[in-house]
Amino acid sequence: MGWWGGRGSSGFGGRSTSDEVTEGIDASGLTAIVTGGFSGIGEDTARVLALRGAYVVIAGRNLENGRKTKDEILKKFPGAKVEIMELDLSSLTSVRRFANEFLAKNVPLNILINNAGIMLCPYQLSVDGVEMHFATNHLGHFLLTNLLLDKMKETAKVTGTEGRIINVSSMAYMMTYRGGIQLERLNEKSGYMSFLAYGQSKLANILHANELTKRLSEEGANVTANSLHPGEIKTGLPRYSRLVQAIMPFYSPFMKSIPQGAATTCYLALHPSLKGVSGEYFHNCNVYGKGGYAKSEELAKKLWDVSVQMSSK
């Protein structure tokens, strides 16, 4: 079931858009956070959630871009409930500040969409001394999720409405370092390859959702966690790669539009058919089999433990 393929058992497929997969769904009364929501598929995800009536907190680094995003949404839907907040996923201090500021609002939280990410950047370390792909794509989201998890569980318990956590991953998770995730040498420059570092961070997104599902299930919490591949999309994400930019014009006709790329995220966030579904990996709005290290319970547990240690500094 590729991009050009037909619809899967969900009734949706690679050509489905974010508007189509949420058509007729009433999200009023729900609160959602979308990271990396000032551009690309994150922006479209925020637009659609707001269109369906949710109160949407859009988080990102550049508040000027955020204001433009908010204005565009309000221009289309004057009654939309949208707020922007500053968040830099590569900084643990920024993540903690964001979480504290959100929790201080004393509002419920039903949906957390861990969407923000970087791709194929040259070797660099975050302000916390963590390799930038791992810091931004995984560790920041890991800490954010943990800081907001009690609020999500409380909201689900009080309202009876299932909470949903969505990690935007990538098929690139299959192209990673030997062993899947190099937990002992995450920050070493020697042997660094940007596409493997990116794949490693995307594998971490899947393993995070897997292990989180296990822990939520053991607690009996009414919160699910899933991961997804959005597809190959026309966005500015590969801006660091000259090779990708060079082949983009030739590959462009076969890529998804942004609303098609955001479809699976919106489907996971709102569709009623997914009630109780957790720990799955989705592509084109359908469950897609995990391969290789993405199935490893042992690696997921090790990643969790290392992430707790790294994010507590």
pLDDT computed for residue 219 by the predictor: 97
Distance CA 78, CA 80 (A): 6
pLDDT computed for residue 3 by the predictor: 46
User: For the chain, what percent of residues have pLDDT higher than 90?
Assistant: 90
Amino acid letter, residue 259: P
Domain ranges of the chain: 18-311
Residues 279, 226 contacting (CB under 8 angstroms): yes
pLDDT computed for residue 192 by the predictor: 97
Residue with tokens 């509002």: 107
Q: Per-residue confidence at 90, pLDDT binned at 50, 70, 90?
A: very high
230-288 pLDDT, tens digit each: 998 865 555 554 555 555 554 555 689 999 999 999 999 999 999 999 999 999 999 99
118-146 pLDDT, tens digit each: 999 999 999 999 999 999 999 999 999 99
Any catalytic annotation for residue 267?
no
3 by Cβ neighbours in 10 Å (0-12 / 13-18 / 19+) ranks as middle
Farthest-apart Cα atoms in the chain, separation: 52
Q: Which CATH number does the domain 18-311 belong to among 3.40.50.1220, 3.60.9.10, 3.40.50.300, 3.40.50.720?
A: 3.40.50.720
177-196 pLDDT, tens digit each: 999 999 999 999 999 999 99
Through-space distance between the first and last CA atoms of the chain, rounded to whole angstroms: 43
pLDDT computed for residue 255 by the predictor: 80
Distance CA 272, CA 264 (A): 14
Distance of CA 265 to CAs 101, 164, 165, Å?
25, 11, 10
Say which residues have a Cβ less than 8 Å from residue 13's Cβ, sequence separation at least 6.
1, 5, 6, 7, 284, 285, 286
Q: Per-residue confidence at 6, pLDDT binned at 50, 70, 90?
A: confident
27-85 pLDDT, tens digit each: 999 999 999 999 999 999 999 999 999 999 999 999 999 999 999 999 999 999 999 99
Identify the active-site residue in 123, 173, 177, 192: 192
Q: Per-residue confidence at 2, pLDDT binned at 50, 70, 90?
A: very low
The whole-angstrom distance between residue 18's C-alpha and the CA centroid of its chain comes to 15
At 274, is the secondary structure helix, strand, or coil? helix
199-235 pLDDT, tens digit each: 999 999 999 999 999 999 999 999 999 999 999 886 5
- The yes-or-no verdict on residue 14 having pLDDT over 60 is yes
Q: Considering the chain, what is the average pLDDT of its residues?
A: 93
- pTM, two decimal places: 0.94
Q: List the strands of the sheet with 163-168, edge to edge.
A: 81-86, 55-60, 31-35, 111-114, 163-168, 223-229, 281-283, 286-287
